[in-house]
Amino acid sequence: MQVQFKPGYGLLAHNESIDGIADILKCFLREDEQLLFSFYERNIDFIHESDKDFILKRQIFTNSNWVLPWEESIPHWDDPYNAPPKLIWFYANEKQDIKKAIGIDFLFRCVTLKKGNRFEQYSNVLFQEEYYVTVDETEEYDHCIGFTEKKDDFLTKTLPILRSNISAKIDVLHS
């Protein structure tokens, strides 16, 4: 695994299975926090009934909040009112539930939120994206988990937890 920092967020490049990804996400949680995964409300009727039930039984918020650490670059507004799409935010706290949420949307986005807080009080955005190799890289990874945790907090709080709970070697690139 390899960690690099971009302006406003970090990326953890990895080749982990869903099981390993769930372990990584749990390392970002602090006391009394939970993971809230998102799913586009407009797509809920197009998924398997058991996945739909899983999401709706765990739903906490529905909103149109853009949480990723960059401007939205691909417009995907909902017709007929040209409004931003609504997201269902649902909790997944146990490892099996986290794995199920990842299985529903492998390129997920989620937030960490203290139980009982308003949505806007989330402390970290976590997301998975495909990894693209640059010309000068020697390592090859499949995916990246992005995070918006401050660099110092990641290095002093999350990285030690990751290193004690994840068997893979974790290299930190300093730029």
Tens digits of pLDDT across the chain (175 residues) = 999 999 999 999 999 999 999 999 999 999 999 999 999 999 999 999 999 999 999 999 999 988 988 776 555 666 666 677 899 999 999 999 999 999 999 999 999 999 999 999 999 999 999 887 665 666 678 899 999 999 999 999 999 999 999 999 999 997 6
The whole-number pLDDT of residue 91 equals: 98
- Cis amide bond preceding 7, omega within 30: no
The whole-number pLDDT of residue 175 equals: 64
The whole-number pLDDT of residue 76 equals: 61
Report residue 35 as tokens. Answer: 């993971």
CA angle 17–33–66, rounded 5-degree value: 75
Q: Which residue has the tokens 């695994």?
A: 1
Model pTM?
A: 0.91
Cβ–Cβ < 8 Å for 64, 83:
yes
Phi, psi of 121 (to 5 degrees): -95, 15
The residues, ordered by sequence, that sit 6+ positions from 155 with a Cβ below 8 Å of its Cβ are: 172
Closest CA to 110 of 83, 141, 143, 87: 87
The whole-number pLDDT of residue 85 equals: 85
Please tell me the distance from the alpha carbon of residue 19 to that of residue 10, in angstroms, as a whole number: 21
CA distances from 76 to 83, 85, 105 (A): 9, 7, 18
Please report the beta strands in the chain, taking only residues with DSSP state E, as ranges in sequence order.
Answer: 2-6, 9-14, 33-40, 59-63, 87-91, 109-114, 124-130, 143-147, 171-172
Cβ–Cβ < 8 Å for 101, 60:
no
The whole-number pLDDT of residue 145 equals: 97
Residue 141's identity, in one-letter code, is Y
Cβ–Cβ < 8 Å for 33, 45:
no
Q: How far is CA 49 from the centre of its chain?
A: 23
Dihedral of alpha carbons 116, 92, 142, 86, sign: negative
For the chain, the domains span 2-172
